Structure 1
């Protein structure tokens, strides 16, 4: 292996069951390669994201960027934001390290008691929040989209949708709880596949329920509620197979629950800064020209594809692995895992961000320029897509740098950084919204992501938690060279975006496939020619 490549960790045998009676009761999550686990999550996430794009194509075709679409995107974004805050965000980052510690050091009975208490306490809190939110739907609609007040019908439609979409928060948070347990036990595929059911539900609702309701967009809200129930029901059998299906009973006095709550309090802000920023974009966009909310949504969806497939996938597998290393007091392996995660993110994140910038209009045209979606909508969405792409790598790095703190059960540091990034986003919004309108909001989010990732990385390095392994200089040159070659090829090969407007879907899809395959081929050919090998990214969990 050249000195430019990520160090590999020797393969270690799986832990054998202990002979004594107490150790026999130990829960034994399986270990595997981080790269293999990451590829499992990435492939499942890719399927989910592709289905998400199909979903958005259907929504764009049926509803475009009109009143119904704007109302739905707000009504879905509010519980979705809280889902990421409570479930995949703060709860997951606080729950997984504690659960990993219990799985490593406690008996099976103690693990089951923890799961019962956490599931019951989480459900009780979310039931209360959901009930209050449904009652306060008109005020929530006004609070998250004040610009809609200029159109009472649009505001009322958003409130009606919120009453249907908010129960999704309860259902999907319990789904995330189940997914955290499965991930800790090394069953990554099931939680990664689960979001596909959301997209299938929304596509089915849009196609089948739209003719049955007086307001067509209301069918999408029904689809969200159906999706929440389907996703939770899907994961239950897999928990039962592990004999870890909880019997929910609220117990806020349980030692594990108290620790999770203590960790969650700051994490609720720290891990969700990007989501708070996107929510602020929605609030401000509602004050801009009609369609601004939808333009930001469609461009954000394209950024979410590589972010979910690469960044979230690596972040998903790295948190349980880092938590176990911290519980085992293995700082050297902890640092190697962080270094591996950063290299993996840059390997895929840099070319993805560049491709979004170069191919913004062709991508949007290929996916969304049908039915009610206009040429003007494409131009506006392309502006915000390029702005979001500036921060794509930073968004990915946050997904792997924040777990460096959370795995050590340190949630105070990320929240401090989150407050700084949040303040920066507000300042950037005020500066950029006037000259760039909705694209200024997207660019402000990207810049605040750069601030967030930069501060996380700096503190991890200064505290000696993140130690850069050898070969970073050459690795950086290899990546930048590959991006340059790929960018030049795409710019030369891609037809002008106005030509795409006249093409049919098969012709657009064919050209896009050619561009994607050609760009990926020349990028990875450059890396291979300069010495990068797949084996250099193997790392045991």
Structure 2
């Protein structure tokens, strides 16, 4: 358990730092641009590059690549790395060129909700062309990070996402100097991609030596590379379902009340904080443990059960705490400058809509890693396809019947949560060989769950002692808000940890070594 916990902690710390800087970035975006047309145009243009960023930083590629490398550095593995790196880079380069060449079509489809707003469409197109090369840079960086993670080099790969937030923060701060301020942020995204891939490439060369592409790379002589490239599209869809849902959601949100895109974006950022820190860290670190014991079915199930217990121990109290502190968190992070009280209320509602899905997506990340360790990539693909089709059908229904309802954006968030539950239900069913009786007997630690509920209740009772009213929080300064929310969260975490330790909640993790 100690090594698993320490590796998870390393990844979590850097992810926490990245998410923290991400909140600073969003705080500045909210302050400088509010929920106005410029920001909405940026969010639409940035959605596809942001989609690639989320996939590459979520541990998705690590889940796919890790089983092929098994943590050993040798000539055979190096050849595999060079082959997949070349083909993925080539594919992304072609995608980037096509996206630039046909940017009018992309904007016409994806920003269709703004079809009557010519100035917004022009902004979307110009920023899309500026930022689309980030797809190439970040995609290559994501593959490099996955390779580094496969060799337990977690620090560099966890540091790389921080670069984007730092450069974007600088871009927002200097934006008033631009004739069109939002362009500063768009150029910052492009610059961040160049810096990220440069740092990642240097780290990879230090790990495996000089990278050289020979002519026979086109022949793909490595059978593992052939299998990997053949399975990659399905595996990618299977593990990136959360990010794909977000991409679809942005499209449909553009048809709703002005501001819906921004409210959903800010709410999603808060939820992604917990998902990123816990779900990504656990899923990234757990893969080698499951691969090591996948031939011993009994040990595999024991290890997976312990990992699920650990996931419940950290995720449930985090979600409960977020529910209790939702409004103070939104006010503390976003209520500045052009971000109004109306924006606060609507972002809060969207956050509650997403909150239901958070637990599901974190647990699904763990289950998908287990299914991948068992080479059940095809099943994951079909489950994700069902979820994707369901998402599209629900979103179309919402836009069709509720487009003039001011709360329609909340319905989109709730639809995302509903699909998350469906996805979790099917994944569990498949994992347990289509027997929930086996799941309950193997993976559902009732005693641990009771202890978590007791400890979470104790945490909530303590949190309720603080003044959490809107009228109090909006009167505080930025420093006062951030200091207060940090103190409350710290006290809540301490109360939970002390209670769960006294109850012996960590005893279920003894399987992890």
TM-score when scaled to structure 1?
A: 0.87
Measured on the aligned residues, the alpha-carbon RMSD in Å equals 2.4
Say if 1:471 and 1:118 are closer, same or farther in 2 by CA, change over 3 A. Answer: closer
Shift of 1:431: 5.7
* Match of residue 308 from structure 2: 342
Matches within 5 A, 1:40-119: 40-84=10-54, 91-100=61-70, 108-119=74-85
Listed one character per residue, the Cα deviations across residues 85-112 of structure 1 (whole Å, up to 9, x for unaligned) are 5786765433222222xx56xx811112
Q: Does 1:34 align with 2:1?
A: no
In the alignment, structure 2 segments of 5+ residues that lack a partner are none
Q: Give the conservation status (yes or no) of the 8 Å contact 1:87–1:177.
A: no
**2:441 matches 1:473:** no
Whole-Å Cα distance in 2 between the matches of residues 310 and 241 of structure 1? 29
Aligned partners of 2:170, 2:185: CA distance in 1, in Å?
9
Identify which of 266, 278, 288 aligns with 1:320.
288
Select 1:162's aligned residue among 104, 122, 128: 128
Q: What is the CA distance between 1:227 and its match in structure 2?
A: 0.8
Task: Report the equivalent of 1:491.
Answer: 464
* Map 1:293-442 → 2, pairs under 5 A: 293-326=261-294, 329-429=295-395, 434=402, 436-442=407-413
The residue number in structure 2 matching 1:21 is none
Alignment partners' CA distance in 2, 1:507 and 1:87 = 32
User: Where does 1:250-329 land on structure 2 (aligned, <5 Å)?
Assistant: 250-251=217-218, 253-254=220-221, 255-326=223-294, 329=295
Find the residue that maps to 2:179 and give its secondary structure. coil
Task: Identify the match of residue 481 of structure 2 among 499, 504, 508.
Answer: 508
Aligned to 2:428: 457
Measured in 2, the distance between the counterparts of 1:234 and 1:517 equals: 34
- The residue that corresponds to 2:206 in the other structure is 241
Q: Please tell me whether residue 186 in structure 1 is matched to residue 152 in structure 2.
A: yes
The alpha-carbon distance between structure 1 residues 128 and 88, as it changes in their structure 2 partners (threshold 3 A), is farther
d(CA) in 1 for partners of 2:507, 2:398:
41
Distance 1:131 1:275 in 2: 23
In the alignment, the residues of structure 2 paired with residue 173 and residue 50 of structure 1 have an alpha-carbon distance, to the nearest angstrom, of 23
Instruction: State whether residues 92 and 136 of structure 2, in contact with CA within 8 Å, keep that contact through their aligned partners in structure 1.
Output: yes
| 1:8-48 C-alpha deviation (Å, 9 max, x unpaired) | 6xxxxxxxxxxxxxxxxxxxxxxx82111111100111111
- Describe the SS at the equivalent of 2:196: helix
The answer on whether the counterparts of 2:302 and 2:511 sit within 8 Å (CA) in structure 1 is no
Could you say what secondary structure the match of 2:293 adopts?
helix
Structure 1 stretches lacking a partner, 5+ long: 1-7, 9-31
How many positions carry a matched residue from both structures? Answer: 503
Superposed CA offset, 1:124-163 (max 9, x none): 1111001101112222122222111121110111111111
Match of 1:17 in 2: none
1:136-155 aligned at under 5 Å gives the runs 136-155=102-121
Task: State the 1:467 CA deviation.
Answer: 8.9
Q: Is the 8 A contact 1:35 1:538 kept in 2?
A: no
TM-score, L = length of structure 2: 0.92
- CA offset digits 1:420-472 (Å, max 9, x no partner): 22233234435656263111111111121111122112211126997965881
8 Å Cα contact 2:62/2:147 also seen in 1: no
